[in-house]
Amino acid sequence: MPRQPRSPEDSSVRLLKVGERVRHMLSELLTRQVVHDETLTARTVSVTEVRMSPDLRQARVYVKPLLGSEEEAVLLALRRNTAFLQREVASRLGLKFAPRLKFRGDDSFDEAERIERLLADPRVTRDLGDEGGDGGGETGADTGRAPPAD
């Protein structure tokens, strides 16, 4: 399921900063293999994004295992170790309330790959190539402006 687009109120500076701090903390915990779980220590997991709720009590954590291998097993292991990760983040974050972490797979890379495949399709390439077929210059009809006088 693709991520929902952000609304303006979702992207306040504070939410972005806290989300980025949580992302860095989780990345560090996973990189240093602080979590004692065979599934997580055997794989490299990227924390691609953390989206905080407006009250900073919920954090949606988007993760992607290296090369996308066994994503479901990694998500299951992260969900098993959520309590430990929440405690670690809470102790390092210093907020009044510790955010509740919800781990989700990051589908944005798959979506980007799908778009790349669509753009590489010969029919689409042909259509994109026709845009500059008349020399690429703008005419008055294209821009709504009158052509320059001679």
70 torsion bin: left (phi>0), alpha (psi -120 to 50), beta (else): left
Contact 85, 101 (CB under 8 A): yes
d(CA 1, CA 4): 9
Q: Which helix (H) or strand (E) holds 91?
A: helix 82-93
Residue 65: count of CB within 10 angstroms of its CB: 21
Q: Which helix (H) or strand (E) holds 48?
A: strand 45-52
- The C-alpha angle with vertex 93 and arms to 90 and 99, in degrees rounded to 5, equals 50
pLDDT digits (tens, 9 = 90+) for 113-146: 788 888 877 877 777 775 544 444 444 445 555 5
pLDDT digits (tens, 9 = 90+) for 20-75: 999 999 999 998 888 888 888 888 888 999 999 999 999 999 998 887 678 889 99
- The whole-model pTM stands at 0.68
The domains found in the chain, sorted by start residue, are 8-112 (3.30.300.20)
